[in-house]
Structure 1
Amino acid sequence: MSYALIRHLRRTALLTQQIRVESTMTSLTPEDIVFRPPLAQWGKVIREAEKIVGYPTSFMNLRWLLSDEFANLAMHLRTVVGMNHPIVKTAKMLLHNEHNNLQPWGLVILLLSKAVNPPTSLLTSTVTQNQRILAELTEMIRTGHYVHRGLLNISPSDRNKNSDTAMFANKIAILIGDYLLVTANGMLARLKNQDLSYLISTALRDISEGEFYGHRDAQNMPIPGKPIEIRRDVYDINSDTLPLEVKDVLGSPVREWTLRSMYNGGTLFGRGCQGALLLGSHDNEKQEIAYKFGCHLCLAWQAATEVQKITSDKESFSLVSAPVLFALNEKPHLHELVANVQNITDVDLETLKEQVLKTDAVERSRLLYTEHADKAKSYAETFGECESIDTIKQMIYTL
């Protein structure tokens, strides 16, 4: 093992040890981007899937964790450990929590690639390598986006010596997020595939547009739209690369939830799956199926996780989660609890949760999960019967 690698491992281990220190850190915002499926019984399925793809994808991010640039940025996090800033929570998730390091998106892309690749040959080996790079850069993009979401908006009038550390943490979050996104784009460029670059670019566009969609509080956290009368509460998903449809969406629970979930990473996961088929030289019809598979799988995991959060005694929940949007539609007067708030942390979450649980919102959210899970399974089955597809189907329904 080279000296440089040992040095990087020591740096990462030191940072992990620092982050493990118990602190009074709490979640500043009850809105989360769900990057993974629910965790119950998940480890066994992941281990089986990793045997199929040939290596532990929980270490997929070592390439950038052990680089000089990232190691130097990560060391600066030691100065903000113990403070109430989202970047600390993000770093802990990346370096310490083994469940969140399971890299489910990249693993699914690798399983799908293995299912559709031709028998082993020299050409297949090259395709598989490119698909692995695609899986890695997809994970890197979503992680960079998550890091960028952990910024605190400190207005000029509130800035003083007490806010200096928070502003420094903001700078570190920006640098780390930028590093991940730039590195991912460099990996994408090295694949020298213009069609794939275009697909991933459309996903990046959607992620960016999602940050400006709908009403927002002072921290740019989303506030649900005012409930409206529903004519057709269905959001159609297709593989068009045009911007997502936003007309008559806010206030319509299924349409608003679907659009927000697609903005928050659904299209990125879909394009990653589609890109795996593109790199394997499959036709447009199969690529479209792969895109829809990825989108519906992401939506299924999102719905299932939101149900777990709203029914849990410990975790906070998102104001734009499916259960909340369904409850607001059933009882429009509840919208007054979240309307015109300066910061969503001012919302009485306990009262809102009690009201949500008195409706059929949780049951409707479970049905939403089932609907998207069944669609994802149906699309996956079009790629044939094999060990990889069987494992994907297990991952869809592992709750």
Structure 2
Amino acid sequence: MSYTLMRHLRRTALVTQQVRLESTMTNITHEDLVFRPPLAQWGKVIRQAEKIVGYPTSFMNLRWLLSDEFANLAMHLRKVVDTNHPIIKTAKTVLYNEHNNLQPWGLVILLLSKAVNPEYSALQQDTVSENQRVLAELTEMIRTGHYIHRGLLNVAIEDRDKNVDTTMFANKIAILIGDYLLVTANGMLARLKNQDLSYLISTALRDISEGEFFGERDSQNMPLPGKPTRNQVDEFLINSDTLPLDVTGTLGSPIREWTLRTMYGGGSLFGRGCQGAVLLAGQTLEEQEKAYMLGCHLCLAWQAASEIQKLTSENKETYSLVSAPVLFALNENPNLYDTIAKGKQNISNIDLEELKFDILKTDAIERTKFLYLENANKASSYADMFGDSEVIDTIKRLIKSL
């Protein structure tokens, strides 16, 4: 049943995305195709990857949607469907594979597992592959749980009255759904009984938590960019040690700030998921480090591509004020920070369309494209270190398909 539901949801998403794509294919350039690939190509790569791993992972594993616990929460969620609460948009994103869900983390982890697993006996092979599948699922669940928790609305105590009862109720449901996913993921991790793997994933959870307290934020806990600074060391060195991420001199330095925020937001988790797959395969620390770097740079590449799409889309899509194009634009034109200052209480006070117009007048998009290509090339280089095979070739096609 989960397989059928997953296929149906993906088919629905593909049709929706194809309609959008056809409306924008006029006036598209070859360069744009790097970031807006024909959807048939993306779907073909995904189907090939699923065939290789022998498991229908299509963007998200939806088995948890079919559990009794989640069904009970979903019944309550129906009560707020007609509201504008972010949890509704989040649910649609998870189900219908929009921008934030077009990054099949679990699928990449399973592909990498195929590439690194040595020759075992049949029983050993089944055990290792099953553990790697569980790791891929729990990584996706942690990512989704964190994503749902970020969709809460903060309502000041003095503003809480009967008019916000629905909002408060939706907040409670969002917390419960996010907690359910995170607790379930941690239970799955514990059942693997691998202390080293638990340690790796716990460092990623630490990074996710620390990211929620990094930099300035508005009243809704939405992140605000750092004020541009003159003295910049605009390079962020990524390494596989398990120490907290280095925040020194990041705010106001576009590449450093963006890289750190992306690592906090998911890069660290994806990297540890890839590293964990290689660990479960019994590979050396050196091989594990390569896998971590592959996951981190792939996440960075996908994030940059997603941000370019949002800023260059003809639709009035919302975009993050800490996305790479915004940070690059602030760096080139520091006067734009006066506009950002208007949103320090609430970013809804900022005219995003006007800011977008000012951003597109700078070289921010070109610099973000370079950022994408740089990280995509690094991810491909690390993938090459795991040999030449159909599996690795598929990973490389996923790297360059967004």
Give the TM-score of the pair, scaled to structure 1. Answer: 0.89
Supply the AA of the counterpart residue of 1:181: L
Give deviations 1:300-352, integer Å, cap 9, x for gaps.
00011101111112112111010110010010010010125211111111111
Please give the residue correspondences for 1:1-399 in structure 2 after superposition, counting only pairs within 5 Å: 40-41=38-39, 42-58=42-58, 61-97=61-97, 104-119=104-119, 121=121, 122-314=123-315, 315-339=317-341, 341=343, 342-399=345-402
Give deviations 1:2-36, integer Å, cap 9, x for gaps.
xxx9xxx9xxx9xx9xxx9xxxxxxxxxxxxxxxx
The whole-number CA distance in structure 2 between the counterparts of 1:188 and 1:221 is 30
Secondary structure of 1:222 counterpart: coil
Q: Is the 8 A contact 1:57 1:102 kept in 2?
A: no
Secondary structure of 1:58 counterpart: coil
Distance 1:234 1:59, change over 3 A: closer
For residue 90 of structure 1, report the CA deviation from its aligned partner.
Answer: 1.3
The whole-number CA distance in structure 2 between the counterparts of 1:105 and 1:195 is 21
For residue 241 of structure 1, report the CA deviation from its aligned partner.
Answer: 0.5
Q: Is the 8 A contact 1:199 1:241 kept in 2?
A: yes
The whole-number CA distance in structure 2 between the counterparts of 1:210 and 1:259 is 9
For residue 162 of structure 1, report the CA deviation from its aligned partner.
Answer: 1.1
* Long gaps (5+) in structure 1: 21-36
Give the TM-score of the pair, scaled to structure 2. Answer: 0.88
The whole-number CA distance in structure 1 between the counterparts of 2:64 and 2:291 is 28
Distance 1:239 1:255, change over 3 A: same
For residue 157 of structure 1, report the CA deviation from its aligned partner.
Answer: 1.2
For residue 231 of structure 1, report the CA deviation from its aligned partner.
Answer: 3.6
Secondary structure of 1:130 counterpart: helix
Aligned counterpart, 1:34: none
For residue 40 of structure 1, report the CA deviation from its aligned partner.
Answer: 4.7
For residue 288 of structure 1, report the CA deviation from its aligned partner.
Answer: 0.5
Secondary structure of 1:223 counterpart: coil
For residue 230 of structure 1, report the CA deviation from its aligned partner.
Answer: 3.9
Higher mean C-alpha deviation, range 383-392 or range 42-51: 42-51
Higher mean C-alpha deviation, range 219-228 or range 56-65: 56-65
Supply the AA of the counterpart residue of 2:272: R
Q: Pick 1 or 2: higher relative contact order, CA cutoff 8 A, min separation 6.
A: 1
Distance 1:240 1:218, change over 3 A: same
Distance 1:181 1:169, change over 3 A: same
Q: Is the 8 A contact 1:109 1:276 kept in 2?
A: yes
For residue 98 of structure 1, report the CA deviation from its aligned partner.
Answer: 7.6
* Long gaps (5+) in structure 2: 17-34
Q: Is the 8 A contact 1:203 1:271 kept in 2?
A: yes
For residue 70 of structure 1, report the CA deviation from its aligned partner.
Answer: 0.7
Distance 1:100 1:242, change over 3 A: closer
Q: Is the 8 A contact 1:257 1:325 kept in 2?
A: yes
Give deviations 1:182-205, integer Å, cap 9, x for gaps.
000000000000000000000000
Give deviations 1:272-294, integer Å, cap 9, x for gaps.
00000100111101101100000
The whole-number CA distance in structure 2 between the counterparts of 1:46 and 1:128 is 20
Q: Is the 8 A contact 2:383 2:392 kept in 1?
A: yes
Supply the AA of the counterpart residue of 1:74: A
Secondary structure of 2:245 counterpart: coil
